[in-house]
Structure 1
Amino acid sequence: MSHLQALDQYFSNNREKHLNELFEFLRIPSISSLSEHKEDIQKGANWLADALTKLKIENVTVDQTSGHPVVYGEWLHAEGKPTILFYGHYDVQPVDPLNLWESEPFNPEIRDNKLFARGASDDKGQVFMHLKMIEALFATEGTLPVNVKFIYEGEEEIGSPNLPAYVEANKEKLKADLIVISDTGLYAPGKPAVCYGLRGLTGVQIDVRGAKGDLHSGLYGGGVQNAIHALADIVTSFHDEHGTIQVEGFYDQVRPLSDEERKAYRDLNFDEEALKEEVGVKELFGEKGYSYLEQTWARPTLEVNGIFGGFSGEGIKTVLPAEAGAKITCRLVPDQEPNEIVALLRKHIEKHKPAGVEVKVSEFDKGAPWITPFDHPLIQAAGKSYERVYNVPTAFTRGGGSIPIVAAFDEILQLPVVLMGFGLNSENFHAPNEHFHLENFDKGLRVLGDYLHEVATLNFK
């Protein structure tokens, strides 16, 4: 019996047991951005540490940081074989708006072979797959084909503010040959993908202040600046009519796509009509001269995530608002640097500030973009493992989203990073009714197990 056949039999026999265990993990409301869930974050860390200990992983610790805990463990008995460092996160996004959920976000339900719960896809379900894959290899082979280490954090959803310092302080402990992360997705249903690049992230809040308080729009309107009007002018100045960013210098450091990459993206035959139907729009919109995949994988963005100010209750209130604000995020690509982009934003906002208001710019999360050559042997090996289980060619893609710690791993540990995810873009992570297709849960377990065997055959000398 091959190792894949043995894994298949084990996972089939233990599927219900494994799902029940995953339900336990998903019931913990480990929301990192809300202080009232600090104890739940600790529960999530303890649950993971206990699960690793039950697997006979050694030196398991729950390491406190100035924020939320980091969970670590290791098994280093595959003499002469490579070491894989597995990373993931056990924190989740808030669940608002709660009324849009069809089931309780922390009471997992299976409907149509999809597991619904906050964290089901991002990232508890995929972290759990790491654990069960290790369990299966121990059960079917009595050992592991490679050495393994684990590092799971509770702050990914708030930008991993404390993990870089933890990694820097523990470089020797985290020493490995590669890092495997399961926090990305497939290219499409039934179409596996290895992600070889991620966009970075930086964010600001713009606060506009006019008069010392809201004013009567009949007495003062037309003579005193309206803070919302001023904010609208600033926001409108960020793009032209085609969506091209108008911040001076914004594109200066953008690494152009290679001809090979552009051809690879064209060969994926992306279905724009299906995308329109999926998201409910009649036409797409974006920077001219680039395909949708190029726009969302390899070009930077500047998005307004929220605007606030004035009166928004039922009916009408005739005021001239004194304050207004907007939250802005930018997705960055190689070789853009987050701090440089913030400096350009500040300069642009000051230049386009209307008369009669003061503007304050506050900085938020930052994460550098990351990319690795998609012909790297470890990337190609991951593609082979996907193909053995899914029985179709693997796509090599970039991710439009951000995993802030990936660039830090690359810089601090100087290790190749392999992103082996099993989610789908349609699974509502960060939104109500987050879910995980169990078909990919099942196949992903087998892919990960096969990949450990594939890595064991590579020459790391």
Structure 2
Amino acid sequence: MTESALAAAVRALMPRARRELAELVAFPSVADADLGLERECRAAAEWVAGALRAEGLTGVRLVDTPDGTASVYGELLGVPGAPTVLLYSHYDVQPELDAAAWDSPPFELTERDGRWYGRGAADCKGNILMHLTALRALRETTGALPVNLKVIVEGSEEQGTGGLEQYARANPDLLRADVIVIGDVGNFAAGQPTTTASLRGACDVFVEVRTLAGNLHSGQFGGAAPDALAALIRILDSLYDERGGTVVKGLPCDQTWTGLEYSDEQFRADAKVLDGVQLIGGGKVADRLWARPSVTVLGIDVPPVLGAAGSVQAATRAKLCLRVPPGMDVHAAQRTLMTHLESVAPYGVQVTVTPGASGSPFSAETSGPAFEALGSAMREAFGVDLAVSGMGGSIPLCSALRELYPDTEIVLFGVEEPTTQIHAVNESVDPLELERMTLGEALFLRDYAAGWGK
């Protein structure tokens, strides 16, 4: 078998990958129980299970996890003397947000300007197709997989409810492997193969403010009656300095990143920052994204402008997300944020602060046989050296896997380069990036197996 044959096999499989990605994107598999999409999530899980069975995996089943969702597991073992590789991804997705803001239906894969658009096209259904297509290409060119294989596809990663982590801790042999591939990240830039070595942890906090028994006429009472919404705005403003950087009393926010640089110009382009709008915070972009904590206001319960009444608000609440870098305990940081919110409440308003879901930060090793095999594989697939970067997002399962299997290498890569706009409207995947990452994964599995035990 030559590499050109493997590359040709991946290329020939791309039309199938597009068809199947369209099928998978069509499921609005948002795992938020309040949205009532359990049937859609189950259907997406069944689709994944069917795809694994079609590839010859055995023991394929839906694993019901303690958070009420289902993960999909399958395996293909029995290769003597070969390492065991676990491939991870997730089929649940973020809500579509404002469906009217999408340029095409969010749950209908649409090709436009050379990209494939749809919720989950990159995060993380595109990575599921990366795994499936890499396995198919290997089997078509060699007749068999060179490794013992396990696959786990999570059903609630975006919700951070920890169902799979809890299940894995209760069943520690299920996900045991020599190397774990986390397919839920992406390249630093399109065309630049990248492995992620650092993930921030995340925790949610809810803050509710109450001031009155009920809303009041803003003319008759406004100016003296305490406005809950105005109080909440003041509380939230205390979380940022004059440059917009995160400041939480008792939480260090001045750490620095040593490694791959992220220029202001590239970040502005990747984030689509509007002309004239400044970046927030101080220090290098990489410091702010990968080495320091940050607080984001995810939502506020307020009356919409359309139909708003002339009244003083009696109660309101907000949901915050605190991202914390490696080296910081996520639970301690969550408590610190809660204490801060309680301490800055103005003019005696009633404040209730409650914790939400949380996941710990993670650091990956950048040495060992898997890392070496990944570097050579991606160099062959892309023609440039593998980069090592951080990521500001969170994958809570990684920390649980590190605790369960301290001697197992964990490598992170995927199709979610910055222009995919994950978690935003008009999410998309670049099919060329999907093809190259698929080839890189196939080469990695081949090369890792070839070097095993040497």
Shorter-chain TM-score category?
over 0.9
Equivalent residues of 2:162, 2:396 under 8 A apart: no
Residues 160 and 404, structure 1, Cα contact 8 Å, conserved in 2 = no
What does residue range 316-355 of structure 1 map to in structure 2 within 5 Å? Answer: 317-355=309-347
**Are 2:365 and 2:410, in contact at CA under 8 Å, matched by a contact in 1?**
no
SS in 2 for 1:353: coil
Structure 2 CA distance for aligned equivalents of residues 277 and 106 of structure 1: 23
SS in structure 1 of the partner of residue 294 of structure 2: coil
Post-superposition CA distance 1:253-275 (Å, at most 9, x none): x8x54xxx62x324x66634753
| Aligned residue number for residue 54 of structure 1 | 54
Using the TM superposition, give the Cα deviation of residue 436 of structure 1 relative to its aligned residue in structure 2, in angstroms. 0.5
Once the two structures are superposed, residues 31-53 of structure 1 have per-residue CA deviations (whole angstroms, 9 ceiling, x without a partner) of 21154211111111111111111
CA pair 434-131 structure 1, distance change in 2 beyond 3 A: same
Map Cα deviations across residues 232-265 of structure 1 (whole Å, 9 max, x no partner). Answer: 221122222133443222118x8x54xxx62x32
What is the deviation of 1:412? 2.3
2:127 aligns with 126
Whichever residue aligns with residue 299 of structure 2, its letter is G
Using the alignment, how far apart are the partners of 1:407 and 1:435 within structure 2? 28
RMSD across aligned positions (CA): 2.2
The aligned counterpart of 2:383 is: 391
Cα distance in 1, alignment partners of residues 96 and 335 from structure 2: 33
Tell me which moved more, 311-320 or 329-338: 311-320
1:438 partnered with 2:439: no
CA drift of 1:111 comes to: 1.9
Deviation sequence 1:340-393 (CA, Å, 0-9, x none): 112112221222111241001122221100012334442343222111111112
Call closer, same or farther: CA 1:316–1:164 in 2, change over 3 Å. closer
Q: Is the 8 A contact 1:224 1:356 kept in 2?
A: no
Aligned counterparts of 2:271 and 2:342: Cα–Cα separation in 1: 40
Q: For the structure 1 residues 172 and 369, does the alpha-carbon distance in structure 2 shift closer, same or farther, using more than 3 Å as the test? A: same
Alpha-carbon deviation of 1:334? Answer: 1.4
**Count of aligned residue pairs for this structure pair:** 451
Residue pair 1:276, 1:282 contacting (<8 A) in 2 also: no
1:147 corresponds to: 148
Q: CA deviation at 1:18?
A: 3.0
Please give the secondary structure, in 2, of the residue aligned with 1:93: coil
- The AA in structure 2 aligned to 1:298 is A
Paired with 1:134 and 1:427, the residues of 2 have a C-alpha distance of 24
**Aligned pair in 2 of structure 1 residues 39, 344: CA closer, same or farther (>3 Å)?**
same
Is 1:455 matched with 2:448?
Answer: yes
> Contact between 2:301 and 2:316, CA under 8 Å: does it hold in 1?
yes
**What is the aligned-residue identity percentage?**
32
Deviation, 1:141, is: 0.6
Matched, 1:87 2:88: yes
CA distance in 2, matches of 1:306, 1:423: 24
Deviation at 1:315, TM superposition (A): 6.8
Q: Normalising by structure 2, report the TM-score.
A: 0.93
Contact 1:206–1:362 under 8 Å retained in 2: yes
Per the alignment, in what secondary structure is the counterpart of residue 363 of structure 1?
A: strand
CA distance in 2: counterparts of 1:270 and 1:240, whole angstroms: 20
Q: In structure 2, how many angstroms separate the alpha carbons of the residues matched to 1:320 and 1:15?
A: 57
| Pairing partner for 1:275 from 264, 269, 285 | 269
Q: Would the alpha carbon gap of residues 97 and 244 (structure 1) be closer, same or farther in structure 2, given more than 3 Å must change? A: closer
TM-score by length of 1: 0.92
What is the correspondence of 1:226-305 to structure 2 with a 5 Å cutoff?
226-251=227-252, 256-257=255-256, 262=258, 264-266=259-261, 271-272=265-266, 275=269, 278-288=272-282, 290-305=283-298
Deviations along 1:118-144, whole A, 9 cap, x unmatched?
111010111111112112211211111
One-letter amino acid matched to 1:440:
E
- Structure 2: distance between partners of 1:161 and 1:119: 20
CA contact (8 A) 1:87 1:181 kept: yes
Q: Give per-residue Cα distances to partners, 1:315-360, cap 9 Å, x unaligned.
A: 7633221112222111111121222112112221222111241001
| Mapped pair 1:367 → 2:359 | yes
| CA deviation after TM superposition for structure 1 residue 208, in Å | 0.3
Relative to structure 1, is the Cα distance of residues 218 and 150 closer, same or farther in structure 2, using a 3 angstrom cutoff?
same
Deviation of the 1:74 alpha carbon: 0.8
Query: Could you say which residue in structure 2 is the equivalent of 1:205?
Result: 206
CA distance in 2, matches of 1:60, 1:165: 20
Q: Provide the residue aligned with 2:31 in structure 1.
A: 32
Judged with a 3 Å threshold, the aligned counterparts in structure 2 of structure 1 residues 445 and 362 are, in CA distance, closer, same or farther, namely same
Q: Contact between 1:382 and 1:420, CA under 8 Å: does it hold in 2? A: no
Aligned to 1:224: 225
- On the 8 A contact 2:13/2:133 being kept in 1, the answer is no
C-alpha distance in 2, partners of 1:175/1:207?
Answer: 42
Change (3 A) 1:312 1:83: same
Farther off after superposition, 226-235 or 198-207:
226-235
Retained in 1: the 8 A contact 2:205–2:320? yes
Residues 42, 277 of structure 1: alpha-carbon distance in 2 compared, 3 angstrom cutoff: closer
- Label 1:191 to 1:206 Cα distance change in 2 as closer, same or farther (>3 A): same
Asked whether the equivalents of residues 228 and 323 of structure 1 are also in contact (C-alpha less than 8 Å), the reply is yes
Aligned position for 2:12:
13
Separation in structure 2 between the aligned mates of residue 324 and residue 416 of structure 1, nearest angstrom = 46
**Aligned-partner residue type, residue 6 of structure 1:** A
